[in-house]
Structure 1
Amino acid sequence: MNTHCDVAVIGAGPAGCAAAIALRRAGVGSVVLIDAGDGQRPRYGESLPPATGLLLHALGVADAFAALNVRRCIGNASSWGAQTLGYNDFLFDPHGPGWQVDRRDFDAFLLQQARSGGTSVRLHTRLESASDADPDGLRLRLRSHGAALTTLHARFAVDASGQRARLAQALGAERVTGDRLVCLAALLPVDTTSRLGQRSLLEAVDYGWWYAAPLTSGEAIVVLATDAAVLREQRLQEPARWSARLAQTHHIGATVGWMRRAPPYCLSTRQARSARLSHCCGAHWLAIGDAASSYDPLSSQGVHKALADALAAAPRICAVLERHQDTAVMEQAQQMLARFEGYQRMREHFYRQEARWLDAPFWRRRRAAQIPAPPPTDHSPIKTHRMNVSP
């Protein structure tokens, strides 16, 4: 097993795989992709906006993606601010329709593309600690399947480990959160009465909002987004209570056409907080995707943002490796933070469009949950020398 590499990428989700693909396409000699899992963890379905096709093309994987015959998404319908449905179709989008992907299949596709491009992949491997005391790069302490610790010396590292931001937090960055949004999802069989078609569907309720979208498998992903406090108070993590609430919706329950099928079924729960890092880069490292900043699922920007960050990072990392231009990654870090501020303004505007339940705890918290902007930073060379063991 190699003990040195040019770039180590922590996390084999869309951001990490895309970074590995882009780095290899840019000519980086040795890229190691590290992930604690095996790619089989249950994932949500996710909508990809039409413009994501441009990013897949830039990564060189558009043709292979097209061969997967992923279900197209022609737009969305929403009951937001009113009980009636409004429609936003992609009919006139210059990039064509979007896609509704099964995240586990999509992540596996990107991982295979990274492997095919020459990336060394280490699954079942956990980052235990990191040190940036070496002026020539990082020392990463890794553990595989309970084996003894090993050390990987990387000239540069990318944190694509999602909201946990394992590398960034090991090197002193802090996670700054603005709310406690939680999503509970289930894959439901869709019967012949379903009117879901090729659209995703969004419906606001007094305790949060519901989302549903069809998948290529013939199932539908149905998601409830609410506050952690509301979840506990109403015990919505219980399938019977979750499904009872779904049955009370005006649109989604009937549209999916699942009502004749009774629970129980498996509910998947995950944090969906809006959050960012206190700083997104340091000596020999950069955080991208959800590791750098995570958005409300309403934005439908998770995968798109991950791919865009990876594509933007690759040439900047090459500049660091070839010319020791630390400012290249610092500029991207500043751009990602500025983009997060823009996202917060858009998120606030969207939530304020729903005014039917102004006094309900969920909607009151949405109006208050803003993360302050970080203090301005200069573009002087990065110098941090610390070692932190990740939690």
Structure 2
Amino acid sequence: MSTDSTLDVIVIGGGPAGSTVSTLLAQRGAKVRLYERDTFPRFHIGESLIPETYWVFKRLNMLPKMKASAFVKKYSVQFVNAQGKLSAPFYFDENKPGERSQTWQVIRSEFDTMMLDNAREHGVDVRQPARVLEVLFEGDRAVGVKVQKEGGGSEEVRAKVVVDASGQSTMLQNKFKLRLWDPILNKGAIWTYWEGAYRDAGKDEGATVVIQTPNKQGWWWYIPQHDNTVSIGVVAPFDYLFKGRGGHEQVFNEEKDACPEVIKRLSTGQRRGGYYATKDYSYRSSKVAGDGWVLIGDAFGFLDPLYSSGVLLALKSGELAADAIADGLAAGDTSATQLGRWGERFNKGVDRMRRLVCEYYDGFSFGRFVKTYPHLKGKVTDLLIGDLFDDHVDEVWGPLESLYPPDKTAIPTWKDGTPPDDVNKVNELYLPEDPMR
């Protein structure tokens, strides 16, 4: 057993969620230790940020670092439909002027390192590489962790609160069988990187472009990065991408060759690096917290890459959890009720983004909607920038439903249930060396 009994919080995982919660807690005077199993920098996907990350970056004192970085500035998002028609850009600052409406396209190996270094600068005790073997409990209450020691053996370390920010390995969600699979969003992705590919000039250089496949089975992301590369990937239903087809390279090229917009954009460059594949099954935990423990980031849930909300949800869950934990420590209350007080608000925000994702997959046209309801373009832009946690954006849903065809049914909601039938097949793709692990 560790002789250090003064820790307030142990954080498992040093990605954006773990870095955020630990930094904010340290700012509030908590003694925080963070365990990260990998040595940074390390590869990770999830490279496009959205503007609402600004407010968390401000609290983290990360804005000066982001502004001084080489990351490509992102001012907008554009959509290309199945016929190849490009939408007008959704410029974030047209709705909310100022620096808060500019964000970045990041290389995650660099960004995650910056975030973890920032946590260190704020007084977080970062142990890296260090693998947490299990969370320790006394009854139903988390009381610490067992950590693998360098050179062999293990030690137990106690703390008042344990935060699981372990990503999709999600230790506590698996332990308590809390995972709820989304009834709709069972997607997969194949991606790679292209050097010297086309990018727009000026303000549009850093735009994320979402390109619908001509057969409407899926969509492409197109994300320019500062090392003269573009992150390019196709997302579609898992069965469509991976069942009865060839390897990742073959499927990627078949989809590319069927999409004139992608061919055009990649024609000026050449591929750099290998092909990557991952499950994008969407899931969420039925709880955000228990007595002495909290789930944040991908350890709580994963939505969908469509609107680049992943890093925002990691940062926001880390921020909300940090405030609940700090207040609980001050009051001597680390109960599930106190530590999870932010869950309802957070889930409501995720539900809004999820609905926008589902509407797109069900045929929603941004162009048609804005043409029919031009006064609501700002509200749609609010959703796209990640302004998810305020009721004002709910004004869009009634008009959106007015455009439904007569036979359209409601978007299914979350439900308890078993994983999709092919979840074991998906997990075969999800090997330990997978960078998305």
TM-score range, shorter chain: 0.7 to 0.9
Shift of 1:24: 0.5
- Which residue in the other structure is 1:360 paired with? none
1:233 aligns with 2:240: no
- Structure-2 residue corresponding to 1:363: none
* Residues 1:32 and 2:36 aligned together: no
1:96 aligns with 2:139: no
Write the distance in 1 (CA, Å) between the matches of 2:27 and 2:161.
17
Give distance in 2, aligned partners of 1:311 and 1:330: 12
Counterpart contact for 1:181–1:273, Cα < 8 Å:
yes
TM-superposed deviation, 1:135: 8.3
Query: Could you tell me how far apart the structure 2 residues matched to 1:202 and 1:51 are?
Result: 19
Which of 184, 191, 202 matches 2:210? Answer: 202
Partner residue of 2:138 out of 120, 133, 154: 133
Query: What is the match of residue 421 of structure 2?
Result: none
Aligned match for 1:114, one of 119, 129, 132? 119
Residue 353 and residue 322 in structure 1: after superposition, are their counterparts in 2 closer, same or farther (change >3 A)? same
8 Å Cα contact 1:39/1:108 also seen in 2: yes
Partner of 1:297: 305
In the alignment, is the contact (CA less than 8 A) between 2:194 and 2:272 conserved in 1?
Answer: no
Q: Provide the rounded CA distance (Å) in 1 between the counterparts of 2:247 and 2:92.
A: 34
Superposed counterparts of 1:238-277, under 5 Å: 238-258=248-268, 261=270, 265-277=273-285
Structure 2 residue identity aligned to 1:187:
Y
In structure 2, the partner of 1:10 is 12
* Residues 104-156 of structure 1 deviation map (CA, whole Å, 9 limit, x = unaligned): 11100001101111111122322222232168851311224572121111110
Which aligned pairs between 1:106-185 and structure 2 lie closer than 5 A?
106-133=111-138, 137-144=142-149, 147-170=152-175, 172-178=176-182, 179-185=185-191
Offset of residue 237 of structure 1:
4.0
Paired with 1:2 and 1:219, the residues of 2 have a C-alpha distance of 49
Q: Contact conserved, 2:189 with 2:277, CA < 8 A, in 1?
A: yes
Task: Say whether the 8 Å CA contact 2:165–2:298 is kept in structure 1.
Answer: yes
Name the aligned partner's letter for residue 23 of structure 1: L
Question: How far apart are the structure 2 equivalents of 1:106 and 1:164?
Answer: 21
Deviation at 1:354, TM superposition (A): 5.0
| Structure-2 change in CA distance of 1:136 and 1:166 (3 Å) | closer
- 1:137, 1:153 within 8 Å by CA — same for their partners in 2? no
- Asked if 2 retains the 8 angstrom alpha-carbon contact of 1:16 and 1:310, the reply is yes
Tell me the residue number matched to 1:389. Answer: none
Aligned residue for 2:243, secondary structure, equals helix
CA distance in 2, matches of 1:368, 1:169: 27
Structure 1 residues 154 and 88 mapped into 2: Cα distance closer, same or farther (>3 Å)? Answer: same
Counterpart position of 1:216: 226
2:23–2:118 contact (8 Å) kept in structure 1: yes
> 2:355 is matched with which residue?
345
Are 2:288 and 1:287 equivalent residues in the alignment? no
Q: Distance in 2 between matches of 1:343 and 1:236?
A: 33
Residue matched to 2:375: none
Q: Report the Cα distance in structure 2 between the residues aligned to 1:96 and 1:344, rounded to whole angstroms.
A: 22
The equivalent residue for 2:47 is: 46
Alignment partners' CA distance in 2, 1:351 and 1:241: 20
Change beyond 3 A, Cα 1:115–1:230: same
Q: What is the CA distance between 1:286 and its match in structure 2?
A: 0.9
Aligned to 1:20: 22
Aligned residues of 2:12 and 2:36 also touching (Cα < 8 A): yes
- Gaps in structure 2 of 5+ consecutive residues: 366-409, 418-437
| Equivalent position amino acid for 2:34 in 1 | L
1: CA distance, partners of 2:261 / 2:3: 55
Deviations 1:330-358 (A, max 9, x none): 22123333333333323222222259xxx
SS of residue in 1 equivalent to 2:48: strand
CA apart distance, 1:313:
1.7
- For residues 64 and 37 of structure 1, the distance between their equivalents in structure 2, rounded to whole angstroms, comes to 23
Cα separation, partners in 2 of 1:373 and 1:216, compared to 1, 3 Å: same
Aligned to 1:76: 77
For structure 1, the 5+ residue unaligned runs are 356-366, 375-391
Give the AA of the match of 2:122.
G
Asked whether the 8 Å contact 1:45–1:215 carries over to 2, the reply is no
Does the CA-based 8 Å contact 1:35-1:124 persist in structure 2? yes
1:62 counterpart residue number: 63
1:314 aligns with 2:322: yes
3-state SS in 2 of match to 1:48:
coil
Separation in 2, partners of 1:231, 1:31: 43
Whole-Å separation in 2 of the counterparts to 1:165 and 1:76: 31
Q: Name the structure where helix makes up a greater proportion of residues.
A: 2
Distance of aligned partners of 1:141 and 1:238 in 2 relative to their CA distance in 1, 3 Å threshold: same
* 1:85 to 2:93 alignment: no
Distance in 1 of aligned mates of 2:327 and 2:93: 40
8 Å contact 1:176–1:276 — kept in the other structure? Answer: yes
- Identify the match of residue 334 of structure 1 among 319, 339, 344: 344
Identity percentage over the alignment?
22
Matched-pair contact (CA < 8 Å) for 1:280–1:292: yes
Change (3 A) 1:234 1:222: farther
Inter-partner Cα distance in structure 1 for 2:16 and 2:3: 24
Distance 1:337 1:90, change over 3 A: closer
One-letter identity of the residue aligned with 2:363? Q
Tell me how large the CA RMSD over aligned residues is. 2.7
Q: Which moved further from structure 2: 157-166 or 329-338?
A: 329-338
Q: Structure 2-normalised TM-score?
A: 0.75
- 1:372 corresponding residue in structure 2: 415
